[in-house]
Amino acid sequence: MEKFLSVNDVQDLNEIVKSALSIKANPEAYGDVGKNKMLGLLFFNPSLRTRLSTQRAARHLGMDVMVMNIDKDGWKIETEDGVIMDGDKAEHLKDAAAVISQYCDIIGVRSFPNLQDKEEDYADGIMKDFVKYAHVPIVSLESATRHPLQSLADLVTIRENSDKPKKKVVLTWAPHPRALPQAVPNSFAEWMNAADDVELVITAPEGYELDPEFVGEATFTTDQDEALKDADFVYAKNWSSTTEYGKVVCKDNSWQVTEEKMALTNNGKFMHCLPIRRNVVASDGVLDSDNSLIIEEANNRTFAAAAVLKAILETE
């Protein structure tokens, strides 16, 4: 694996899931894979699970780790080519990426969208520029359009909890007071569509339909109750409007995932990437139930990241 930006960079989906589960079963067995290698983690935006789980993943492989909050600790970064840099941005991304490549064997980058200009956000400029100008593999720690480490952990969690040949997985929009990126739902849909054991249904209000590129062959409906019927897994996530890009156009609290909604499922398991607004996105009763996988899912972030790093290290 030469980079990790989406499911399209994974040669064998089943093998990378098996790798994550193998590392989880015996994390001490892989301590020499990354010996004398350096992982650099660059954060343009906040992080809890991604930051800590990726650091722990690197440690399982024997790697050293450097972490930098670009938005707080570094120079302001210019991303436009050919610009006259006479403003407040002191360093160009092409120079920063090349320099960091000399210090690190793999670079992880996290950069959110601005939710102002869809064309600009979906161009995924920062992530693509790091791939272009760095001289080492790039791992997405979440970009403007995708969150592949989260999605791999989600698939690992689903397979750990069900051996059904075909699992009905429902991605449901849920309320939130703020406008949130579309990266997690985009990525989740993309990975579930790539899995041969998943039947994906997406449900959201009008105006929140994900791009066809990510919906793929999944079923889409605005009827949440109908979507939840007989579901094996329910993945709740808010995202901002796609028709009025970056805006909150629906404030219908009936989309909250409650115990009554989960009763429509096939004793379904509840999932969310975290952090979650309790009693807004989902009720306490759902989150604290025996069928909630949110903590287990977060734990699997470590082993998903380790599987990705291992695949990259073994490619070098």
Each residue's pLDDT expressed in tens, for the chain with a length of 316 residues:
999 999 999 999 999 999 999 999 999 999 999 999 999 999 999 999 999 999 999 999 999 999 999 988 889 999 999 999 999 999 999 999 999 999 999 999 999 999 999 999 999 999 999 999 999 999 999 999 999 999 999 999 999 999 999 999 999 999 999 999 999 999 999 999 999 999 999 999 999 999 999 999 999 999 999 999 999 999 999 999 999 999 999 999 999 999 999 999 999 999 999 999 999 999 999 999 999 999 999 999 999 999 999 999 999 7
Fold match between 7-146+301-315 and 150-297? yes
Q: Is 50 annotated as a binding residue?
A: yes
Scan for tokens 């997690």, then name that residue. Answer: 184
Cα–Cα dist 235/188, whole Å: 9
Long-range Cβ contact pairs of 281-288 (< 8 A, separation 24 or more):
281/174, 281/175, 281/176, 281/236, 281/237, 281/238, 281/256, 281/257, 282/174, 282/236, 282/256, 282/257, 282/258, 283/256, 283/257, 283/258, 283/259, 285/258, 285/259, 286/257, 286/258, 286/259, 286/261, 286/262
Beta bridge partners of 271: 235
Q: Is 148 annotated as a binding residue?
A: yes
In this prediction, residue 74 carries a pLDDT of: 87
Q: Is 150 annotated as a binding residue?
A: yes
Q: Is 110 annotated as a binding residue?
A: yes
In this prediction, residue 71 carries a pLDDT of: 84
Fold of 150-297: Rossmann fold (3.40.50)
Q: What is the DSSP letter of 91?
A: E
Q: Is 287 annotated as a binding residue?
A: no
Q: Is 176 annotated as a binding residue?
A: yes
Fold of 7-146+301-315: Rossmann fold (3.40.50)
Q: Is 49 annotated as a binding residue?
A: yes
Helix ranges restricted to H, 35-88? 49-60, 70-73
Q: Is 147 annotated as a binding residue?
A: yes
Domain boundaries, the chain: 7-146+301-315, 150-297
Q: Is 277 annotated as a binding residue?
A: yes
In this prediction, residue 77 carries a pLDDT of: 93
In degrees, rounded to 5, the angle at the alpha carbon of residue 57 between the alpha carbons of residues 70 and 171 is 80
